[in-house]
Structure 1
Amino acid sequence: MSKSEAARLVVAARIRRGLSWSEIADKIGAPVVWTTAALLGQHPMSQEQVREVCAFLGLDEAVAESLQLQPARDIDTARMTDPTVYRLLEALSVYGPALKELIHEEFGDGIMSAINFRVDFARRPDPEGDRVVITFDGKFLDYKW
Structure 2
Amino acid sequence: MNTIAYVGIGANLGDARANVADAIERLRRLPDCTLLGASGQYRTAPIDSSGDDYVNAVASISTTLDAESLLQALHGIEQAHGRERPYRNAPRTLDLDLLLYGDQQIASPTLTVPHPRMTERAFVLVPLLALAPEVVIPGRGPARDYAAAVADQGISLLS
> Do they superpose with TM above 0.5?
no
More strand by share: 2
TM-score by length of 2: 0.28
**TM norm structure 1:** 0.29
| Structure number with larger C-alpha Rg | 1
Higher relative contact order (CA 8 A, sep 6+): 2
The structure in which a higher percent of residues are helix is 1
